Structure 1
Amino acid sequence: MSDTGEDQLNADNSVSTFTSALWFNAALAGGFFTGFCVLRRLRPSVYSPRSYLVEKERQPPPLPDGFLAWIWTLIRIPEKEVLRSIGLDRFMVLRFLRMGIVIFTLFTLVAIPILIPVNLINQLDSPGLNKLTMGNIKDPDRIWAHLVLAVLLSAGVVYYTFRETRQYLVLRRLHLLSPEYANSVTARMLYVPSIPERVNNIEELTKIFNRFPGGVRRIWLTRNVKDLPDIVDERQKHVTALEGAITKSIAASYKYYAKKGDPELEDRPESRIPEKLRPTHRVSKLPIPLPFVGRKVDSIDYYHEEIKKLNEKITEAQRSPESYDQLSSAYIEFNQQIAAHMAAQCVTHSREMTMAPRYIQIASTDIIWENMNVKSYERLGRRAISLVITSAIVIFWAIPVAFVQLVANIDSLSKILPFLAGLKDLPSTLVGIIQGILPAVALAILISLVPVVFRILSKNEGIPQKSMVDLSLLHKYFFFLFVDVVLVSTIVGGAIQAISEFLKNPLSIINILAESLPKASTFFITYVLLQALNGTGQAILQAVPLVLSYLLPFLSVTPRDIYTRKAKCPTINLGTLIPSHTVIFVLGLLYSTIAPLILPFVCLFFYLTYFIYLYQFLYLYEMEYESGGLAFPRAIRHVYIGLFTWQLTMIGLLAIQKALPQMIIMIITLVVSIFGLALYDKAFKPLFKYLPIQPEEDEKKAVTTTKSHQTGSSFFSTGSNILEEEDDKKILTHDDGVTTTQGEEDDQFDTNLAMSKDGLVRRKNGHVKSSKRESVGVVDAYNARAQLQKRIHDDPAHPSSSSTHDDGVSQEMAVSSARLMYEVQSYMHPSMYRRQPTVWLPEDDIGITEHEMGQLKELNIRTSNFGAKAEHAGKKGQKSRVQVDEAMYVHGGRGIPGEMPTGDPNFDVNDYVRHVVDSYALVESLALTTSM
């Protein structure tokens, strides 16, 4: 190939594209990292909230304050500590990143010294970086090097996926068998959809599922709560608005009395808030409030009345759940964990698609309540529609992606659009920036807009779990990235350079593509560079949260605002995070032998990404719900898709170059790899979902291994089951006619119960005594709650918090009642048990809060000024500010006074018991009374 002026220009542009992208992204990454190292110590609320917001047992080890000293400490944290702190979902993300590090580091060390000289020396002398690609080969014998390395890499990928999956299954089994998890309600839970009306009752479901070991413990029939959630949300909005109105009134009153010279308290009006300062607003039936539309009301008085009405309406609705229609699904808790896994795998109904598919291990915080009445056939139809829309989005989104790729090839684009030829006259550095930076940035922006739509589609498929929606999003998003980023960009990047020649000689398309396809690698090298340097730099700097941390204090008016801002960790969605990693893995495979220059930058991506997310998982992000690492096998599936695509590409390139022996060996490698995936599915797929039935000694060994992850033996933190059957009967059975009957036992396990010093009933051997229960009052969760509420409200033997710490028997009863209430309410719709929120006001020097609290209590509205104070900032019109006791609420982990945390995945039964027994009266907490 002659070294013409155009070829030299192409060479200059490809090199400048690469160098511009390299230096630009490296400079940005360096700036981001330096900024992080400086700000990390100054803004712990932005960069390390997990170090003090999560429970002590899960807090990561402290890092030194040095500018760089923390790096060595971070990378030396043992895996056991990492797993204990972040959980299995995030830990398996790190394991996947480490798999990328190992595979691509080893292959880079082997392939770069071999393939670069093979492609470069005495070959076609292609322009620029294309000299380093497989397209520069003219000697067919040199193709053997690419083939041998391709076979080695294929074998390495298959081996490592099997190896990592085996280790994942060990970790998953230990997680499922750990006392902390195995003794939870979630571990024994089965969700059954599409239940026929004839079977959809407590008696019939008990008969069906009592056949499994241990029998049924409790059943929740899902109900259509209609507009109750909206009413509960409306009440919360009114409470928040009332808090804001009173807090702003306090600030205005401080300013008002300061201007008047701060007269004595007794000279002030009874309401404490000057009449002209009382807040007002307009009320209308319009969905969006408009200025000067609607009647004008006193905000404080209006919210008082509205909250009182809503409290009465919600309490009445919560007292009569039977008034709501049943849905076609139910939650069934078994006495033994293994029973739930067996029930999920058995055929339970003779009619097809009935009472199927069943889901196990659904946490109460992981439920999508809107999808509880979606039947199996309806779910299939929704999924089909979702896939059609997803495919349409992928197809049409390819148009802007293709345009971005065209911009990355100005030389070839100018041949089709001659008016763009002037761009080639620009300085090579500027051309390099246009080709190497702008397309990659534009592509990243285009990609970021897609996951929101995919999440909506996944949720509307009728999936009952939030975590499963994330897994569905994970596949959709990868499919989008794979098609639009990998395939479309590759095809457009290679084909655009061949269009002008193809128009002259259509028969030359095969030879043209053989030469031009490897040239698309320059775009992907710059894309990987962007993700490795710029992407990770932006991720660690957290620029948006950093800016908001300075702005939000000015917008935080009430104690609730301050608490919400300071006491919660940011969350991360694995459904969008993992595909961004797997697509780089696929690009590394796809161009590993075609353009080996990409390999060092793929390695760089996995090294930096592992380091960044090791820090962020430990010190920054929390998960809203856990799936037990189920995203990992889906990520492995993406690896195999990339592996097959790369092998097919190699077969095509070998066929074009007429390397027949190499092509045959590559076809054999592809067949073996497909067989490997089939074996992978056959061997591992059932274990991803279900717990194996294994000998008792293996189970004990697994439990022993995970004991180190358990919490200490405090009063409320225990490895015992949430509540034994004896506790149920002890609390629910009384001489008022409510009795339970017990059938024959289904297994031979003995139940060894021991009364510990702290008054809790503890289990010695890890087994639950199983029995068939015929009493609907025990099995039906709604009836169990009603009985418990009646017992707590009517029986003076049940103590309030004032006596729970003086009498050991009363203490035990209080704890058992709280535990049982937590259990029976867990799988009801939250609006069916959501207590009224507390109007949390700051204490003030004027007496406004005291006066308002008195009025609220007369209306039976919960209120508190505990731990919050509105401080007077001085005279001369200075602003006051609200202070919250951070030692108690932020660092101490205490929730808003009198409220249960909502949406907190780490809020478990022990937290519930502590909250009920320590925070307020038991009767007031657990029994639905009008005098709340």
Structure 2
Amino acid sequence: MNEPNHANATLSPTVMDISFGNFQAALLFNGLLAIALLLGFLIARARFPATYASRVFAVPLALQPRPLGFGVFSAIPKVLVSDKELLDKCGVEAFAAIFHARAMAVLFAAIGLPAALVLIPINATGGNGLQGISLLTLGNVRDEQKLWVHFLFTLYAVTLTLYAIFRIITESVRLRVSCRTHSLFSNRVMMVRDVPPEWRSEVEITEVIIPRVIPSAHAKVSKDHLAARNKLEAAVSGFFSKISRRSKQGTPADSESNTDKPNEIFADDGVMKLRPKHRSPIITGKKVDSITEYTKAMRDAQRELALLHSVENLEPMSTAFVVLREPIQAHLVSRSIVHITPWVMGQKFPSVSADDVIWANANTAYFNREWRFLFTKLVTFAMIIFWGAITAATLAFTDLANLGKSIPAFQTFLNDYPQISKLIGGVLPPVVIAILISLVPPILRLLSIFGGSPLRTYTEQEVFSQYFSFQLINIFAVNVIGSSILASFNAIKDNPSSILDILAISIPQSANFFIQYLLVRGLLAPSLEIVQAARLITGPIILFFFGKSPRSVLKRHEPPVFSYAESMAAHGLTVTIGLVFCILSPIVLVFVVLYFSLYTLVYFYQMQYVYLAVKSTGGGKFLFTAANHMYVGLFIMEFMILAIFLLSKNYIISGLMVLVVAVTIWSYSQARQFQAIIDTIPVSTVAGKSTLYSGGILFSDKMTRWMKYVVSSRPEEEEEEGTLVHLTKEESTAVNTTATNCAADIIIVHVDVDEDKTLEKLTVKKVSASSLYMDPSMGDVGLKVWIPKCGVGNMYREVVNEIVGAISENQVVSVGAGVNAKGNIVLSNGKYAEMCGL
């Protein structure tokens, strides 16, 4: 690099001026917008608790976060809680997301601070004559002696990154083992696909639950039954709302009694006029009483459903759920080869929660899944090509300098309105690409389910990896290659023999787009996530039009679920950008640190106050996958730096870089060995320990009866034998009557405790183990009709008696629901779990 090169020809002065102007415009626009959004959040947080504290409504007192108050600075220490408190109250997956964002912020801060002090001054005085943002890149360095500093800094960055990767892997293993060995009933259940027909019997396989294939006619009756129930609830709730509003008399949701209060405001004929009516059939039919009609419809559907349930010769599914004594047994059996044909009972998934099963795929045959899988891969490949073309077109049409050269009138516009052109060039390309790429995850999720994915967690893992690869190709690769070629096109055309020297300088300059992209993602994305503008705007509208019953109101209050696939894949792309450009263009690290720092703060708040953990079989696996994705950025960074050293004809440093690549490959092979621990339970974690910590099974002397206790995942919190460990406000205890009973009953014990761990309430519900692993389309004959309490006159008792005349009395409930004096449905706080079970 001692001889003059064509660096100055790679980018014209116009391009470099616009590049720096784009950066200024993007920073100003995104920064001001992010500040406005955050100020809006601080103002709206206290006024809209249903949006900004939805998790508080949904979890028991022992799991609720600390109250924040109204002060901004006083609230920050209350949000930034300890890891133990975060893990205990929010769960493994929430803690894993925060741990990853925080680890990345620390990693890139540790790399970025020395880079700002060492690399940026060296690049700025490199002597290649670049301007604007490009002045701070490796492409501006001419003196090959200075490249030794970049090489040494590469060693430093690689060492820190490898340490961070193994730190994340270690934490992932700890979380995974803790989840898999916890005393949950689902941890002892193994899902087995493609069971041969001759084995689809509880007699052939001990301790097995084999769901039945639900005929379409059966599923239709179940759907009609559910629809009639929902319409009945809406009709009754609407009726109670009208009379409460007319009488200006409300009934608290927390009222312990449903006794009607005397009220002489209404005469019987006046009440009858308030009863809801509808046409049956719609439009052409006569008006009928809605409550009476929907009660009859539910009664008829329920009777037909009960008749279908009495049929015992339903075809068994090809998927079985095997119940074992301890979680580790489920994992050991899942590693075994069962059948001589490899795909028969080949897929076995331990620790499967019933809520995690995709029942639509539970009976899909192996070869049917195979052709579906092939089809989904072809569609995914077509999507990559299509989105890649769109991304390339977006880059081409938003390259204002090249457009100005091609269209003289547009060049005149750029000259007349430079500020507008800078704003368009700095904001429009990353925003358009971010919007286009956000459309991909829902499509990938649908393709995964169509391809036969058995579990929702499995689907999310697939979407996570595929979406990361998708972004890597359509955002990273297209922009790096496209920007380098587009920016250097004229120089290469004028002097083709200097293509290697030109690319060695132009490739680091592709960081300009990613700086703009990180400004959009790093400032706007976390701000939009915490503001939740869509829920804030649409929530009241949906509640006004559709909040006609306690069930629909509860639906509005449901906390959102954190989308790990989209979020972690987007973070993975940011990690890749940060690693690749930490040497080529160190200024990028400033925005990577900002990105992960903001997301850490946002996740601390969202996981404690907004998002609700869902039942899954993940248990820290997302964190392990994210650690492995870091190797992608590490390898790309090393190969790009090696290529630049080779293009610069510095063969000594290039040879040393080959050794660095070899060490990284070796470390990757070591990291992949942890995959087996992620997939199963290490024997060493339970060897020599009481079964209290390997499934919580306490055997009697004859070992014929056994009981599972709710136990801590930490041995130091051991309680006396035969007692419940009150770790959370609600825990489940499973009790099997005999070890050989394959259709054992489970006693679900809901334990309510105060913050000081004193027992407050104990409720017991007996359910069948086999009913937990049953296709929901089977329907429930005992479907609950959830109506609000109403204390006006004797309306409540009359309506209940009318409904009970058609269905069972214990099906009509009013748990936690009332009507205020304005006629609005109100729900009680602290009964979310009980209400969700209705």
Q: TM-score, normalised by structure 2?
A: 0.86
| C-alpha spacing 1:867/1:141, structure 2 compared with 1 (3 Å) | closer
The match for 1:54 among 34, 37, 59 is: 59
Question: Shift in Å at residue 676 of structure 1?
Answer: 1.4
Match of 1:362 in 2: 352
Question: Shift in Å at residue 14 of structure 1?
Answer: 1.6
Residue 374 (structure 2) pairs with residue 435 (structure 1): no
Residue 807 (structure 2) pairs with residue 860 (structure 1): yes
Residues 489-530 of structure 1: CA distance to partner in whole angstroms, max 9, x if unpaired? 111122112233444554443333223222221110011111
The match for 1:621 among 586, 608, 611 is: 611
The match for 2:559 among 566, 569, 580 is: 569
| C-alpha spacing 1:121/1:343, structure 2 compared with 1 (3 Å) | same
Question: Shift in Å at residue 343 of structure 1?
Answer: 0.4
The match for 1:92 among 83, 96, 99 is: 96
Q: How do 1:392-541 residues align onto structure 2 when only pairs under 5 Å count?
A: 392-415=382-405, 420-541=410-531
Distance 1:192 1:387 in 2: 24
Q: How do 1:246-395 residues align onto structure 2 when only pairs under 5 Å count?
A: 246-250=236-240, 267-269=267-269, 272-274=271-273, 278-283=276-281, 292=283, 298-320=289-311, 322-395=312-385
Distance 1:677 1:401 in 2: 31
| C-alpha spacing 1:199/1:551, structure 2 compared with 1 (3 Å) | closer
Q: Which amino acid aligns with 1:900?
A: G
Residues 338-379 of structure 1: CA distance to partner in whole angstroms, max 9, x if unpaired? 211110011111112111121011101111111111234433
Q: Secondary structure of the equivalent of 1:437?
A: helix
Distance 2:675 2:490 in 1: 49
Residue 819 (structure 2) pairs with residue 882 (structure 1): no
Distance 2:267 2:609 in 1: 52
Distance 2:555 2:204 in 1: 48
Residues 599-638 of structure 1: CA distance to partner in whole angstroms, max 9, x if unpaired? 1111111111111111111111013223111111111121
The match for 1:645 among 608, 620, 636 is: 636
Match of 2:202 in 1: 202
Deviates more, 1:34-43 or 1:18-27: 34-43
Check the 8 A contact 2:175/2:619 in 1, yes or no. no
Residue 548 (structure 2) pairs with residue 558 (structure 1): yes
| C-alpha spacing 1:71/1:407, structure 2 compared with 1 (3 Å) | farther
Check the 8 A contact 1:101/1:603 in 2, yes or no. yes
Task: Give the gaps of 5 or more residues in structure 1.
Answer: 207-217, 285-291, 705-718, 732-751, 759-765, 793-810, 873-879, 902-932
Match of 1:35 in 2: 40
Deviates more, 1:229-238 or 1:460-469: 229-238
Question: Shift in Å at residue 138 of structure 1?
Answer: 1.6
Match of 2:145 in 1: 141
Computed over aligned residues only, the root mean square deviation of the Cα atoms, in angstroms, reads 3.6
Distance 2:830 2:686 in 1: 41
Match of 2:756 in 1: none
Distance 1:696 1:757 in 2: 21
Question: Shift in Å at residue 67 of structure 1?
Answer: 2.6
The match for 2:668 among 677, 687, 695 is: 677
| C-alpha spacing 1:80/1:520, structure 2 compared with 1 (3 Å) | same
Check the 8 A contact 1:582/1:635 in 2, yes or no. yes
Residues 778-802 of structure 1: CA distance to partner in whole angstroms, max 9, x if unpaired? 32x3xx67xx9xxx9xxxxxxxxxx
| C-alpha spacing 1:266/1:596, structure 2 compared with 1 (3 Å) | closer
Deviates more, 1:411-420 or 1:351-360: 411-420
| C-alpha spacing 1:698/1:631, structure 2 compared with 1 (3 Å) | farther
Match of 2:623 in 1: 632
Check the 8 A contact 1:134/1:595 in 2, yes or no. yes
Q: Which amino acid aligns with 2:522?
A: A
Residue 792 (structure 2) pairs with residue 845 (structure 1): yes
| C-alpha spacing 1:57/1:380, structure 2 compared with 1 (3 Å) | farther
Distance 2:737 2:684 in 1: 19
Match of 2:185 in 1: 185
| C-alpha spacing 1:4/1:150, structure 2 compared with 1 (3 Å) | closer
Question: Shift in Å at residue 721 of structure 1?
Answer: 5.7
Residue 77 (structure 2) pairs with residue 72 (structure 1): yes
Identity among equivalent positions (%) equals 23
Question: Shift in Å at residue 102 of structure 1?
Answer: 2.0
Distance 2:512 2:706 in 1: 72
- Count of matched residue positions in the alignment of Structure 1 and Structure 2: 784
Task: Give the gaps of 5 or more residues in structure 2.
Answer: 1-5, 249-261, 708-718, 726-732, 748-760
Distance 2:734 2:683 in 1: 15
Deviates more, 1:416-425 or 1:134-143: 416-425
Residues 631-654 of structure 1: CA distance to partner in whole angstroms, max 9, x if unpaired? 111111211111112222122222
Distance 2:11 2:563 in 1: 47
Q: Which amino acid aligns with 2:773?
A: Y
Match of 1:126 in 2: 130
Match of 2:837 in 1: 900
| C-alpha spacing 1:462/1:854, structure 2 compared with 1 (3 Å) | same
Q: Which amino acid aligns with 1:56?
A: L
Distance 2:87 2:373 in 1: 35
Deviates more, 1:411-420 or 1:596-605: 411-420
Distance 1:463 1:296 in 2: 47
Q: Secondary structure of the equivalent of 1:272?
A: helix
| C-alpha spacing 1:586/1:696, structure 2 compared with 1 (3 Å) | closer
Residue 823 (structure 2) pairs with residue 823 (structure 1): no
Distance 1:630 1:46 in 2: 29
Q: Which amino acid aligns with 1:388?
A: L
Residues 684-723 of structure 1: CA distance to partner in whole angstroms, max 9, x if unpaired? 010001001127576459949xxxxxxxxxxxxxx96699
Q: How do 1:754-773 residues align onto structure 2 when only pairs under 5 Å count?
A: 773=740
Question: Shift in Å at residue 141 of structure 1?
Answer: 1.9
| C-alpha spacing 1:868/1:360, structure 2 compared with 1 (3 Å) | closer
Check the 8 A contact 1:327/1:373 in 2, yes or no. yes
Check the 8 A contact 1:724/1:768 in 2, yes or no. no
Q: Secondary structure of the equivalent of 1:280?
A: strand
Question: Shift in Å at residue 417 of structure 1?
Answer: 5.5
Check the 8 A contact 2:176/2:621 in 1, yes or no. no
| C-alpha spacing 1:630/1:894, structure 2 compared with 1 (3 Å) | closer
The match for 2:211 among 191, 213, 222 is: 222
Q: TM-score, normalised by structure 1?
A: 0.78
Question: Shift in Å at residue 159 of structure 1?
Answer: 2.3
Check the 8 A contact 1:220/1:330 in 2, yes or no. yes
